[in-house]
Structure 1
Amino acid sequence: MSKLIFFFLFPLLSFSQQSIVFAEELLQKKEYIKAEVTLFDYLNENPNDLKGIELYGDAFSYQKKWDEAITQYDKLIAAKPEVANYHYKYGGALGMKALSVNKLMALSMIGDVKEAFLTAAKLDSKHIDTRWALVELYMQLPGIIGGSLSKSLQYANELEAISKVDGYLAKGYIYEYESSPELAEKYYKKAIKVGGSLTCYEKLSTFYEKENQPEKALATIEASHEKHQRNALHYQIGKVAASYNIQLAKGEEFLHKYIANYKAGDGVPIAWANYRLAQIYKHRQNKAIALKYINLAISELPKVKVFKEEKDFILNL
C-alpha cells in the first residue's frame, strides 16, 4: 500500500521540485516578477517549504521590495534560527530598507541590522558574506551610533583567515574609506597577487581613478585584459583613455574592438562606446567625426542626458 501511495505522490513531488528549479532559473535570468508569481503559487500549495520561502524572499529583494523580503526571511529564522544565512539575508534586507527611509526611522533599525549580522557571524565562523557586511556596516556607521574602525578591521582579519583575497579586498576598502591611499593600494595589490580575479583588478583600477591616477588605472585594466581576455575590458580601457585624455590612439583601438566583438553579456551598450569615441575625437579637436559618434550614441539611447550635453559641447568647438 505504501508503495502505491508513493507511486501516486511521485508526480506531485516531481512537479514541486520542478517549480523550485524553474524559480531559480528565473532569478538567474533576472526575471524577478515571473519568479515571484511562480513562488507565490508554489507556496500556496507548500507553505512550509523553506527553500521556496527563501527564494520568494530573494525575488522580493531583487525588486527592492524590502518589507516583503523581510517578512519571508523572518519566517525562515522562526523555522530554523540556527541557520546563519537566514539571519544574514534578514539583516541585509533590513539594512537596505533602512537606506530607503528617513534618518530617524533608519536609526531605530540599526540595532536589529547589527544583531542579525552578528548572529550570523556567531552561527557560522566561515560565513564570508556576513563578515563583509559587518566590515561595511562598522565603517559606514558614525561612531556615535556604533561605527568602529577597529571592529571593521576585526572582521577583515576574520575574512583574511577564511579567504586571503577577501581579507585583502576588505582591508583595501577600509583604508580607501579612511583616506589612507598607500595602505589601500597595498592591499588591493595583494588581492590581485593572491586572487587575480576580475573583481580584484577592478577594485584597484577604480581606486586609481578615484585617486586621479589614470595611467595606473589604464595599466591595471590592461593587465586584467591580458589575463582574462574579456571584451568588456576593451570598453574600460577606452573609457579611461577618453575620460582623462590619455593614450587616445589606444583608447580608440580598444573601443572599436569592443564594438566589433560586442555581445549582450558585455554589459555596457554600444552607445556608450560611441560616446567615448566622440570624446576622443573631441580631445583631438576633430568636430566632424566627434559629431558622427555622438549622433550614433544619441540615436541608440536618445534619453541619456549626458550624450546630449556632450553634443552641445562638441557643437561649440
Structure 2
Amino acid sequence: MRTKHSFVAHALSVGVVLASAMLPAYAADSLATANAALQAGKADEATKLLQDALHSDAKNAEANNLLCRVEYSLQQWNDAAGHCEKAVTLKPGDARYHLWLGRAFGEKADHVSFISAYSLAKRAREEFETAVKLDPHDADALSDLGEFYKEAPGAVGGGIDKAQGIAKQLDAVDPARAHNLRGEIAEKQKDLDAAEKEFKAATTGPGAALQWMELANFYRRHERWSDMEAAIKSGQAAAGHDKYGALALFNGASILARTNRQPQLAIKLFTEYIASPDKTEDAPAFDALARLARLRKSTGDNAGAERDKASALDLAKNYKPAQDATSDAKGK
C-alpha cells in the first residue's frame, strides 16, 4: 500500500514545470518528458532521458532529483540516495530535494546493518527537519517527519511528543493527515478506539478515497476483515469523485492482495489503476503490474500473469519484483 506520499506526485510535477522554466528549452523539454515518464511508470524511459541530461550537465540539480526518484521507485536505495544527495548539494535551499533525500536515507536504513542504519536514520531525520524548516507548509514533509518521530527511538531523535507536535502543525495544512498521524500515534499507544476515531474523521474531508484506504489498512492490522472490506468498498465508491482516486484504487487492491481476500476485486482495482490516466510515481505502474501478475497466478490465470509480468518488465526491465512475479503465488 502506498499512502505516506500520496499527494507528492502532483506537487512535484508542478515543481518540475517551475524549475524547468529557468532552464534552456531543450533541458526543460527533457526534464518535463522524464517526469511524465516517471509518473506513468515508464522507469526505463525516464532513466535514459535523465542519464542523457546528466551526461550533458552533471550539475543539473533537477535531473539528479528526478533520477533519484526513478531509482527510489525501483527500490534502488543506494543509487537513489546518491543522486538525491547530489541534488541537495547543488541546490541546498530546495525543500523538496531534502525531503526526497530523507526518504532515500530512510529506505536505505531499512536495508543495511544495524550500525549503518543508526547513522542513516539520523541523517533521514535531519533531512526531513530541513525540508520542514525550508517549507513549513509542505504537508508531505510534515507527514514524513511526523511518521519518523512516531516510529524512531529517542536515540536517533524520535519521540511521540514530537510526533504530536507535527500533528498540530498539520492541522492547519492538511487536516486529514493530521487525523491519520494522531490515529497512528494512538494505535502505537494501544488506544485502538481513539485510533479508529481519528482514521474515521479523516474520511469526511477532501481526499476521502485515500483516507478510506487508510482506515481499511488500520482494520487490516487488527484483522477486522469485514470492516476492512467495507472500508475498501467505500474508498472505491469515492474514487470516482476524488482527485487522488486512482492511487486509492491501488492502495485498496494492495490491501486485499496482502490479506488474500477478494482476489477478483483486487484484480479489478489494480486493472482500473493501470488503465487510469492519473497514475503516479507513488504507485508505479510496473509495480501494479507485478502485483497483478502475482494475483492472477494465485487465481490460476497463468497466461494473464505472464502477460502482466511482461508488461511490467517492458516498463522497468530490472525491477526484481516483476522478474519474480510469477515464481510464486504471493500477492504481497
State how far apart, in whole Å, the 2-side matches of 1:152 and 1:92 are.
Answer: 17
CA shift, 1:58, in A, is: 2.0
1:98-151, Cα deviation, whole Å (9 max, x unpaired): 111100111122222211111111111112112111112122222344331111
Identify the residue that residue 86 of structure 1 maps to in structure 2: 97
Q: What is the alpha-carbon root mean square deviation over aligned residues?
A: 3.5
Alignment equivalent of 1:177, drawn from 164, 188, 212: 188
Alignment equivalent of 1:54, drawn from 22, 47, 65: 65
1:265 aligns with 2:289: no
Identify the residue that residue 145 of structure 2 maps to in structure 1: 134
SS of the residue corresponding to residue 193 of structure 1 reads coil
Identify the residue that residue 303 of structure 1 maps to in structure 2: 327
AA of the residue aligned to 2:38: L
Identify the residue that residue 220 of structure 1 maps to in structure 2: 231
Consecutive unaligned residues of structure 2, counting only runs of 5 or more, are 1-22, 277-287, 306-325
Identity %, equivalent residues: 23
State how far apart, in whole Å, the 1-side matches of 2:27 and 2:109 are.
Answer: 35
AA of the residue aligned to 1:269: L
SS of the residue corresponding to residue 100 of structure 1 reads coil
SS of the residue corresponding to residue 64 of structure 1 reads coil
C-alpha spacing 1:42/1:146, structure 2 compared with 1 (3 Å): closer
AA of the residue aligned to 2:136: S
Consecutive unaligned residues of structure 1, counting only runs of 5 or more, are 1-11, 245-250, 276-293, 308-317
CA shift, 1:196, in A, is: 4.9
AA of the residue aligned to 1:170: L
Identify the residue that residue 198 of structure 2 maps to in structure 1: 187
Identify the residue that residue 75 of structure 1 maps to in structure 2: 86
* Pairs within 5 Å for 1:212-291: 212-228=223-239, 255=265, 258=268, 264-265=274-275, 267=288, 269=292, 272=295
Higher RCO structure (Cα 8 Å, ≥6 apart): 2
AA of the residue aligned to 2:158: G
Alignment equivalent of 1:116, drawn from 127, 141, 157: 127
Which protein is bigger by CA-based radius of gyration?
Answer: 1
SS of the residue corresponding to residue 172 of structure 2 reads helix
1:213-248, Cα deviation, whole Å (9 max, x unpaired): 233223323333443358959x86x959x968xxxx
Identify the residue that residue 12 of structure 2 maps to in structure 1: none
CA shift, 1:256, in A, is: 11
AA of the residue aligned to 1:156: A
1:45-72, Cα deviation, whole Å (9 max, x unpaired): 2333332222222222222333333333
User: Do the aligned partners of 2:183 and 2:199 also contact (CA within 8 Å) in 1?
Assistant: yes
1:178-199, Cα deviation, whole Å (9 max, x unpaired): 3221111111111011235221
User: Do the aligned partners of 2:267 and 2:295 also contact (CA within 8 Å) in 1?
Assistant: no
User: Do the aligned partners of 1:53 and 1:76 also contact (CA within 8 Å) in 2?
Assistant: yes
SS of the residue corresponding to residue 194 of structure 1 reads coil
SS of the residue corresponding to residue 75 of structure 2 reads coil
User: Do the aligned partners of 1:271 and 1:298 also contact (CA within 8 Å) in 2?
Assistant: no
Identify the residue that residue 315 of structure 1 maps to in structure 2: none
Identify the residue that residue 146 of structure 1 maps to in structure 2: 157
CA shift, 1:154, in A, is: 0.9
Taking structure 1 as the reference length, what is the TM-score of the superposition?
Answer: 0.71
The structure that is helix-richer by fraction is 1
1:96 aligns with 2:119: no
SS of the residue corresponding to residue 34 of structure 2 reads helix
C-alpha spacing 1:272/1:116, structure 2 compared with 1 (3 Å): closer
State how far apart, in whole Å, the 1-side matches of 2:103 and 2:187 are.
Answer: 23
Identify the residue that residue 42 of structure 1 maps to in structure 2: 53
